[in-house]
Structure 1
Amino acid sequence: MSDSAVGVVGDPAVADRLRAAGAAVVEGTVDSVPTTERVVAVGRRAVRAVATAVVDPLVVPVDAGRGLRSVTRDAVPDAVSGLDDAFTERHPLFEVDVTGEAVGTAAFDVTAVTEEAARISEYAVATTTDSVGQFRADGVTLATPAGSPGYARRVGGPVFAPAESVGVVAPIAPFQTNPDHWVVSLDGLSVSVERDEATVALYADGDAVATVACGESAQLCRSGTLRVAVLEESCSRFR
């Protein structure tokens, strides 16, 4: 183990396991992220908390999804002991704005979806320079590379490696037989509600952050970078 302390957020049992392996540990919470240079983040909520904190540590994601090449809880001691030789991946983070007001930050995905079951709405997606598509559907998800193997994949989107501000747009249950999916720059990407038929809720990394009314839009703006350690213990994002 390295002599420098490692922060742990998300699971006290993981902190105890590291201490038993001889590591110096600083425990934190999603509301108080340790200021250590390296942080073990257990779960997606912990990863997002670390990503949006003032500090900029090298992160070891644990059980936080294939998109970040997570390690398992059992593999954490070996992963931390190998951090000096880790490869660093950089993942984009995005601020989410609704009608110009910041409502949250996304490391994985942003989803707009009708609140009521079996109701659809109409959505338009656009970059800063081009119209991407307009469609009727239950909703739409905008996924970062970290989020591409998650819900976006389950609705037919591709899985891809980290890229500067690039992500996937995937309609959810679209009202068409052969729906498109798009790989575009997420920086400046917007989704707007085009019909006043149902209440549309907006989620950032699974947390409800706002509602979007007809004629309103949600926009993603690049806000930072998450540095992730890739180790021998890291899973593959593609399987």
Structure 2
Amino acid sequence: MDAAWAEAEQPVVGIIERACTDDSDDAGTRLLRVDNGLEGLVSDHGGTIARGTLEDVLETDPSLMVAAGASTLSAIARADPDAPVLPVGDIVGLETVNRDVLPDALAVALAGDATIRQRSVLGVDVDDGTTRDGNNTPARALFDVTLVTDEPARISEYGVSSRGESVATFRADGVVVATPAGSRGYASAVDAPQLSSAVDAVAVTPIAPFVMQTCQWVLPEDELTLTVERNDTPVRLVVDDRPAETVPVDTAVTIAADGALSTLSVPDLESE
């Protein structure tokens, strides 16, 4: 549900320069490490800027955050902050701000003229335990959750259940579960249905299925279970492109809505 974002007194604007200390540079995060006049703009609104890693910024209790790149947005979703985020740059599936108009967009937000939009986040558990990715972070997905064979073109058999009832079993290289935001990214390459952010649902799609004609499903975002029914090679759980763990045969992977990421939307701004 959309809601107006209230102007904050003495706002703290968190600029996420990278998701964590050991993140490699990319064009998205680099654009936020340049002097683009944001300090003066925020000062004019009685606020301050906090720059650094996501962890550094969250320690300052920011009023709002500015972040670029899908991996950084995923990291913010895993951290589950109270502050909304203004996404910058090209992030498929999310409404973002062009880097050229970032100062104008931030000025709109600081004036209280931005809208908060809630983006579904999925929590992932394996056999009722809290699943963690390779960096020991609780597995939460802003875009998608995937089961896929460790070796390319090695088919396994997967099962999908929703609210305790079997939906299908099929042979494929893997299966992807995508949020509305994720349904426009990698999932779209495997012909997943594209979902509106207004629906509380996920798109579930086999990856390289064994049969030419197969189904894709739009299912409720609660009580969804994936299982590996049979495999000839290990099957990996991947959450927003981050490997989590190997999933044995007959092990239940439970996926359900786990809060939301608040993003800020501003009126269309023309770049110069």
- Rounded Cα–Cα distance in structure 2 between residues aligned with 1:33 and 1:110: 27
Compare 140-149 and 41-50 and name the one that shifted more: 41-50
**Paired residue secondary structure (2:41):** coil
Match of 2:21 in 1: none
TM-aligned CA deviation for residue 229 of structure 1: 1.2
Match of 1:31 in 2: 55
- Rounded Cα–Cα distance in structure 1 between residues aligned with 2:76 and 2:221: 21
Select 1:139's aligned residue among 162, 174, 180: 174
Which sections of structure 1, spanning at least 5 residues, go unmatched? 235-239
2:125 counterpart of 1:97? yes
Match of 2:15 in 1: 8
Q: Which has the larger radius of gyration?
A: 2
Alpha-carbon contact 1:33-1:50 (below 8 Å) kept: no
Residue type matched to 2:68 in 1?
A: V
**Paired residue secondary structure (1:194):** strand
TM-aligned CA deviation for residue 178 of structure 1: 1.6
Change in CA separation of 1:130 and 1:21 when aligned onto 2, cut-off 3 Å: farther
2:209 counterpart of 1:166? no
Select 2:84's aligned residue among 58, 64, 73: 58
Match of 1:223 in 2: 258
Residue type matched to 1:25 in 2?
A: I
Alpha-carbon contact 2:204-2:218 (below 8 Å) kept: yes
Change in CA separation of 1:233 and 1:102 when aligned onto 2, cut-off 3 Å: farther
Count how many residue pairs are aligned between Structure 1 and Structure 2.
Answer: 234
> Where in structure 2 are the equivalents of 1:77-226 lying within 5 Å?
77-83=103-109, 84-103=112-131, 104-163=139-198, 165-226=200-261
Residue type matched to 1:4 in 2?
A: P
Give TM-score scaled by structure 1 length: 0.89
Change in CA separation of 1:229 and 1:71 when aligned onto 2, cut-off 3 Å: same
- Rounded Cα–Cα distance in structure 2 between residues aligned with 1:129 and 1:163: 25
TM-aligned CA deviation for residue 212 of structure 1: 0.7
Give TM-score scaled by structure 2 length: 0.79
- Rounded Cα–Cα distance in structure 2 between residues aligned with 1:32 and 1:20: 17
Change in CA separation of 1:32 and 1:217 when aligned onto 2, cut-off 3 Å: farther
Residue type matched to 1:37 in 2?
A: S
- Rounded Cα–Cα distance in structure 2 between residues aligned with 1:175 and 1:213: 21
Select 1:17's aligned residue among 36, 49, 54: 36
Alpha-carbon contact 1:122-1:195 (below 8 Å) kept: yes
Alpha-carbon contact 1:141-1:171 (below 8 Å) kept: yes
**Paired residue secondary structure (2:72):** helix
